[in-house]
């Protein structure tokens, strides 16, 4: 498959480097600034570069990887699908559930592969966590806590409403996705947070409640620094994903004997492949080779369910902000 890269920022640089491990053929790179595209192409040995998205859409690339400012993901993905291209688009793939549903509907109509680049779900440590929970290693899973709170440089696109949906969709998407993977869609959501005067969300914390009293607490912030691990607790133990939980290469398993639970947990370390994107990219290549139109690890249904929860969190933040004003 021939890949086209749209966006030349930090994530694209890591992804293109990791694409070499899955023998992908990166043939074209796009940036809105021609000098950035040229510099990227020279560094990574990409044969063509352009500042015209129309040129990308008219090219013979099979799949487009999109890693532009978040608020542009929906429209760039929509255009790529309409041009008959497969798409891997960085998270968040859109700004609301309605947009996500529309993109997957279009992908089905045009018979192309579409997936949000939620690399956490393909991370070997994350996959091991799910296997251990399903196997009953910590008994019945009952609760989850997770946090992605990290101050972001104020000169970045995250602070511009035209480029970013804010902290929730950039950072909070990870705690919400983790909760959905463990417990499914929540029955109820409670969220509070802080919005900037123009509506950009800066920070939030939320509780998701599920059947049988299970719950997940999460937080995200682009102005505060918080402890960045996650832990799922069950009736006989708990498992910690050390910081940064969305990209971790290890697990701490507090299960078994009292000594193992309280004082000397089992630690499992997994070697990182490349910058951490290799497992996801390998699975995308596998899906393309097999002719799949979505990947079973991160399906349209799973993606849409997460965005519905994100929408409800956002709705509550906006409602509370309106009352305060």
Flag whether 300 is in a domain. Answer: no
Q: What is the mean pLDDT of residues 80-100?
A: 97
Indicate whether 173 and 99 sit together in one domain: no
* pLDDT, mean over the chain: 95
For residue 12, is pLDDT > 90?
Answer: yes
Give the domain-ending residue among 272, 287, 317.
272
What pLDDT was estimated at residue 162? 72
Residue 316 in domain: no
pLDDT for res 212: 96
> CATH code at 106?
3.40.50.720
What is the crossing angle of helices 124-134 and 173-183, to 10°? Answer: 30
Does pLDDT of 217 surpass 90?
Answer: yes
Peptide bond into 92 cis (omega under 30): yes
For the segment 188-208, what is each residue's pLDDT rounded down to a tens digit? 999 999 999 888 999 999 999
162-166, 190-194, 215-219, 233-237: range with lowest mean pLDDT: 162-166
What is the model's pTM?
A: 0.95
Q: Which helix (H) or strand (E) holds 10?
A: helix 10-19
Question: Are 106 and 158 in a shared domain?
Answer: no
- Count: domains in the chain: 2
Least confident of 30-34, 137-141, 198-202: 198-202
pLDDT value at 156 more than 90: no
299-317: average pLDDT:
97
Regarding whether 112 and 125 lie in a shared domain, the answer is no
Percent of the chain exceeding pLDDT 70 equals: 98
Q: Is 221 a member of any domain?
A: yes
Would residue 262 count as lying in a domain?
yes
- 38-42 contacts: CB < 8 A, separation 24 or more? 39/8, 40/5, 40/8, 40/12, 40/13, 40/16
CATH code at 265?
Answer: 3.30.360.10
How many other β-carbons are positioned within 10 Å of the β-carbon of residue 288?
18
Q: Could you tell me if 26 and 7 lie in one domain? A: yes
The burial of 228, by beta-carbon neighbours within 10 Å (0-12 exposed, 13-18 middle, 19 or more buried), is given as buried
Helices (H) and strands (E) in the chain, counts: 11, 14
Q: Are 218 and 208 in contact, with CB atoms under 8 Å apart?
A: yes
Angle between helices 73-82 and 97-109 (to 10 degrees): 10
What does the pLDDT average to over 159-179? 89
Same domain, 66 and 145: no
Structure tokens at 314: 């956002």
- Predicted confidence at residue 282, as pLDDT, reads 97
Share of the chain above pLDDT 90, in %: 91
**Structure tokens belonging to residue 113:** 């592969």
* Per-residue model confidence (pLDDT) at position 320: 84
Q: Is residue 40 part of a domain?
A: yes
Q: Average the pLDDT over 245-259 and give the result.
A: 97
Same domain, 100 and 133: no
Structure tokens at 56: 């990308």
240 vs 250: CA distance, rounded Å: 9
Enumerate residues 6+ apart whose C-beta is below 8 A from 86: 1, 62, 63, 64, 112, 113, 114, 288
Looking at the structure, tell me whether residues 68 and 108 fall in a common domain: yes
Residue that terminates a domain, selected from 60, 94, 117: 117
Query: Do 147 and 83 share a domain, yes or no?
Result: no
Q: Are residues 45 and 96 in the same domain?
A: yes
One domain, residues 96 and 144: no
Q: Is pLDDT above 80 for 325?
A: no
Q: Is residue 317 part of a domain?
A: no
147 three-state secondary structure = strand
Same domain for 108 and 127, yes or no, is no
Pairing of strands 238-241, 250-254: antiparallel
Domain that holds residue 128: 121-272
From 257, 272, 287, the end of a domain falls on 272
46, 246, 174, 24 alpha-carbon torsion, rounded to 10°: 20
d(CA 280, CA 66): 15
325 lies in some domain: no
Q: What is the pLDDT of residue 4?
A: 98
Residue 163: which pLDDT band, with cuts at 50, 70 and 90? low
Is the model's pLDDT at 324 over the cut of 70? no
> What is the reported pLDDT for 160?
78
Tell me what the mean pLDDT of segment 154-168 comes to. 77
pLDDT, tens only, 260-298: 999 999 999 999 999 999 999 999 999 999 999 999 999
Query: Residues 7, 66: contact at Cβ < 8 Å?
Result: yes
> What is the number of residues in the chain?
325
Are residues 53 and 97 both part of a single domain? yes
For residue 22, is it within any domain?
A: yes
């Amino acid at each position: 498959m021939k890949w086209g890269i749209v966006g030349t920022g930090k994530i694209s640089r890591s992804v293109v480097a990791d694409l070499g491990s899955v023998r992908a053929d990166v043939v074209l790179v796009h940036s809105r600034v021609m000098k950035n595209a040229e510099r990227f192409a020279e560094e990574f040995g990409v044969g063509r570069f352009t500042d015209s998205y129309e040129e990308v859409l008219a090219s013979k690339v099979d799949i487009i990887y999109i890693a532009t400012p978040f608020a542009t993901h929906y429209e760039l993905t929509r255009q790529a699908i309409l041009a008959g291209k497969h798409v891997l688009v960085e998270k968040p793939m859109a700004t609301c559930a309605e947009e996500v549903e529309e993109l997957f509907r279009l992908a089905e109509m045009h018979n192309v592969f579409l997936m949000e680049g939620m690399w956490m779900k393909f991370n070997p440590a994350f996959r091991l966590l799910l296997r251990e929970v399903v196997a009953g290693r910590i008994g019945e899973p009952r609760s989850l806590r997770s946090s992605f709170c990290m101050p972001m440089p104020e000169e970045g696109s995250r602070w511009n409403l035209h480029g970013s949906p804010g902290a929730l969709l950039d950072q909070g998407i990870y705690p919400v996705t983790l909760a959905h993977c463990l417990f499914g869609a929540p029955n109820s959501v409670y969220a509070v947070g802080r919005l900037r005067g123009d509506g950009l969300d800066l920070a939030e914390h939320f509780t998701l409640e599920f059947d049988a009293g299970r719950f997940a607490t999460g937080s995200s912030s682009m102005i505060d620094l918080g402890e960045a691990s996650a832990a799922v607790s069950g009736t006989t133990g708990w498992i910690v994903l050390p910081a940064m939980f969305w990209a971790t290469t290890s697990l701490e398993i507090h299960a078994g004997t009292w000594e193992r639970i309280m004082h000397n947990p089992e630690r499992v370390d997994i070697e990182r492949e490349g910058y951490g994107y290799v497992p996801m990219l390998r699975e995308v290549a596998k899906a393309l080779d097999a002719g799949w139109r979505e990947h079973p690890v991160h399906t349209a249904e799973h993606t849409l369910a997460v965005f519905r929860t994100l929408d409800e969190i956002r709705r509550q933040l906006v409602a509370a902000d309106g009352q305060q004003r």
